Amino acid sequence: MIRTAIICVTLGSAVQVQAADRPAPDYFIDAVMATTTAKQLALACADISINLPVVSADSGAVMDRLKADGFDTATDTLGMTDPSAQIAAMQVAFLDKHNLQEGAAQRDVCSAARVEMAEGSQIGTYLMEVAQ
């Protein structure tokens, strides 16, 4: 279920392709992957939430960097090719890293979230534990 949800979120928010678009930069792909994955982990775990100040600050920094790099932040496409296949591949690698398969138990999903937080990964920095 988590695998399907992550891929659906990614594809649902995919950037449309235009003929003169440039490839999506790695920092953008990493941020989208981390944000969508963290969101799904937080939705699956009652005691884990999105760290909104961190996500907001990082999103602002990514948008500023895109603008500085010449991407058109005023359009839906941002002037880049659709990175959804790259993001989906990264999310599959994340699921494989944590041995999360279709229908993974909630405790396993939450354990993966805690591992990411302990490692200080980009996904982990987007998460925080909350009291139940």
Between the CA atoms of 99, 102, 104 and 106, what dihedral angle is there, to the nearest 10 degrees?
Answer: 130
Answer yes or no: are the C-beta atoms of 41 and 100 closer than 8 Å.
no
pLDDT band (50, 70, 90) for residue 20: low
Answer yes or no: are the C-beta atoms of 85 and 29 closer than 8 Å.
no
Higher pLDDT, 75 or 22: 22
Look at the chain and report how many structural domains it folds into: 1
CA distances from 84 to 6, 55, 112 (A): 11, 20, 23
The boundaries of the domain holding residue 6 are: 2-129
Encode pLDDT of 106-129 as tens digits.
Answer: 999 999 999 999 999 999 999 999
Q: What is the pLDDT of residue 63?
A: 95
How confident is the prediction for the chain on average, in pLDDT? 88
pLDDT band (50, 70, 90) for residue 16: very low
Tell me the one-letter amino acid at 13: S
pTM of this prediction?
0.82
Distance CA 16, CA 4 (A): 21
Query: Exposed e or buried b for every residue in 77-109, given b needs 16+ CB within 10 A?
Result: ebbbbbbbebbbebbeebbeebebeeebeeeeb
Q: What is the pLDDT of residue 6?
A: 53
Residue 11 scores a pLDDT above 70: no
Encode pLDDT of 72-97 as tens digits.
Answer: 888 888 899 999 999 999 999 999 99
> Helices in 13-128 by DSSP H: which ranges?
26-44, 52-68, 84-97, 106-119, 122-125
